[in-house]
Structure 1
Amino acid sequence: MKWFQMASLGLLMVLSGCATNTNESNQWVYPPMAVPLQASIQQEVQIARLNQLLIRPDLENEVRAKMFYERGSYYDSVGLRDLARLDFNQSLSLNPAQPDIFNLLGVYFTQVGEYDAAYEAFDSTLELDPTNEYAERNMAIALYYGDRIDLSYEEMQAHYLDNPEDPFRALWLYIIEREVDPVKAEENLRARYADKNQGWGWVLVAIMLDDVSEEQAFKAVLNGTRDNVMLAQRLTETYFYLGKRHQFSGEYADAIALYKLALSFNVYEYVEHRYSFLELGRIYDEVRAMQEEAKKVEENKVEVIEGS
């Protein structure tokens, strides 16, 4: 893959990372990596503490609901999503007026392809908190993955116009708009990016537009981070949007590898990690459909030859 190309960077020593290149060829031997994130002692202690507190029979419902929410959040942060979902549901049974929980449940439903349930969850969030920006974006993304592109575009366009300075709104608007008109979508994203090329998020926009090469993107990540957690987070984002770019170009093998890399760092709370699973499933379905179509065409050719 061309992502291994890297010019004249020498040996980069990155805290907890693993990105090296050869002296002779100046080509990447391995893609830039970070140590996968692990549950911290603080997270484990908090989960254990909440386990003990929730056993107490004298807790008021409001307090118990808050504790279920807190424990569910810790479970979610370490990738235990089924346990997190169970705690969130128990919290809602005690206190239904919690927009943040509905938003998280909507993301879970999106991940597993239960789109109608996701829409209902995001609607509940926005009914309780009409200004919840995360629910607005997640609703548009759920509609995108649910193949309701027109509604998705309307939602994301309104979300983008609320804050045109947000590069992630611009990115997802492009991803969705591309389903309607790829050429126009790229023109619009270039116009949005033209005078807003500062900050990490806009580097990701440049990656999507192919204005920044993969070697430049990796150099920006490696030179801009000295902490393994941030390195893992930025690589998760970089590999996800590179995966989308390759997927749009029909380079499915490259896209699959990139989505797997985005998953490898265990940045469970990032949407780029959450939706990499969905993208992999979509690619597998698309490739399988192409193979079945090719098989049918071949079978029809055989029937024509045998009948002639």
Structure 2
Amino acid sequence: MRFLLIPLLGLSLMGCQSTQQQVTQSVLPIPFTEPLQANPRTQIEIARYSELLNSPELTRSQRAELYHIRGKLYDSLGQSQLAQIDFNRALKLQPDMAEVYNFLGIHHTLRQEYGEAYERFDSVLELDDSYDYAYLNRGIALYYGSRPELAVDDFKRFLANAPDDAYRVMWLYIGEHAVDPEAAKVSLQKNSTALSDEVWSTQLVKLYLNEISEAKFLAQVSTGVKSQKEYAERLCEAYFYIAKRYKAQGNNLKAAEFFRLTLATNVFEFVEHKYARLELRLIREEQLAKANS
């Protein structure tokens, strides 16, 4: 089957419900679902923590932790500015919160403030060198900051802690591809041997190794999905890595469409959703640079 891309601007997405039968149905030849809606429970929790923060009886440590928690809730809803305000408040009260530095590092990366991002991730690892995801997030910052060789070091460290995780394999490949595409493909093939076919994410690696076609990959995205939320999360990942594949091939038009599809899922917490917006910005900057040259 040929999959045609339809621009998202002005497109009203019609999605599946939570049943397996409805999940697999799609009006468009690309699988999609309606964007995730804000969880009312999360909004209620934000209101509750806001009330608690008004209490004058809180210790500095307690207030810092509440800002930390509320910041994460804001972040999960895509409200990055409010999240950053709370994270900064938390650090002013308690400057040894590793996870808060990690979140702030991600926010700096998304704004292309790479120097500040490196400092935040370094702070995480100074406080807790076992904080696994700091290596991923610092690696991503180094990758987007045009320092792929250093990024690869962090991605290797991240993969070493869970060599059977396909997402870790994918990020190492993305970093290595920026250094040496041919060597990256060899490394990807080698790392794929530790992955299980029983896990859906392994299909991402098979797509990159050309062991399955894009059509077949997309056709099985809904396999085993039990809810709309799970389906949206899986599509968020699928769209992003398809987009990165097209971008690596020099096809920015298709890449941009899939990055937009990634954003349309509203899976704000996922790293793929966060960096899809940055990828679109980089594509626009590249187009402007070519137009002005």
Q: Give the TM-score, by structure 1 length.
A: 0.85
Mind listing any 5+ residue stretches in structure 2 that lack a counterpart? 6-14
Matches within 5 A, 1:265-276: 265-276=265-276
The residue type paired with residue 205 of structure 2 is: V
- Kindly provide the amino acid, as one letter, of the partner of residue 285 in structure 2: D
Look up the equivalent residue of 1:109 and give its one-letter code.
H
Rounded Cα–Cα distance in structure 1 between residues aligned with 2:39 and 2:162: 34
Contact 1:14 1:222 in 2 (8 A): no
CA distance in 2, matches of 1:78, 1:237: 18
Matching residue's letter, 1:167? A
Aligned length: 281
In the alignment, what sits opposite 2:281?
A: 281
Matched residue, 2:157: 158
3-state SS of the aligned residue for 2:86? helix
Q: Distance in 1 between matches of 2:205 and 2:17?
A: 24
Structure 1 stretches of 4+ moved >4 Å? 16-21
SS of residue matched to 1:258: helix
CA deviations 1:140-181 (Å, max 9, x no partner) are 110000001221122222332333222112111111111111
Contact 2:23–2:228 under 8 Å retained in 1: no
Partner of 1:119: 118
Aligned with 2:105: secondary structure?
helix
Work out whether residues 136 and 158 of structure 2, in 8 Å CA contact, stay in contact via their aligned partners in 1.
yes
Query: Counterpart of 1:160 in 2: which secondary structure?
Result: helix
Q: CA 1:220–1:65 in 2, change beyond 3 Å: closer, same or farther? A: same
Summarize deviations over 1:222-279 as a string: whole Å, max 9, x none. 2221201100100000000000011111111110000000000111110000000111
1:108-164 CA distance string (max 9 Å, x none): 100110000100000111111100110011111100000012211222223323332
Q: Give the superposed CA RMSD.
A: 2.1
One-letter amino acid of the structure 1 residue matched with residue 249 of structure 2: S
- Residue in 2 aligned with 1:109? 108
Which has more radius of gyration? 1
Aligned to 1:303: none
Alignment partner, residue 225 of structure 1:
225
Deviation string for 1:45-87 (max 9, x for gaps)?
1111111111122211111111111111111111111001101
Q: Is the 8 A contact 1:34 1:265 kept in 2?
A: yes
Given the superposition, is the C-alpha separation of residues 13 and 60 from structure 1 closer, same or farther in structure 2, using an over 3 Å criterion? closer
Task: Report whether the alignment pairs 1:132 with 2:118.
Answer: no
**1:215 maps to which residue?**
215
**Contact between 2:3 and 2:29, CA under 8 Å: does it hold in 1?**
no
Query: CA–CA distance in 2 between the matches of 1:214 and 1:187?
Result: 20
CA contact 2:98–2:123 (8 Å) conserved in 1: yes
AA aligned to 1:179 is A
Q: Which moved more, 1:62-71 or 1:197-206?
A: 197-206
SS at match of 1:200: coil
Equivalent runs, 1:150-299 vs 2, <5 Å: 150-194=149-193, 196-198=195-197, 199-293=199-293
Give the letter for the 2:234 counterpart: R
| Contact map agreement 2:16 2:228 (CA 8 A) in 1 | no
Q: What letter matches 1:205 in structure 2? A: V
Higher RCO (C-alpha 8 Å, min separation 6): 2
**Distance in 2, Cα, partners of 1:170 & 1:115:** 23
- Give 1:203 shift: 1.2
* Separation in structure 2 between the aligned mates of residue 251 and residue 211 of structure 1, nearest angstrom: 21
Q: Percent identity?
A: 37
TM-score normalised per structure 2: 0.89
Distance 1:13 1:97 in 2: 44
Question: CA shift at 1:287, angstroms?
Answer: 2.6
Q: Give the C-alpha shift of residue 13 in structure 1.
A: 6.6
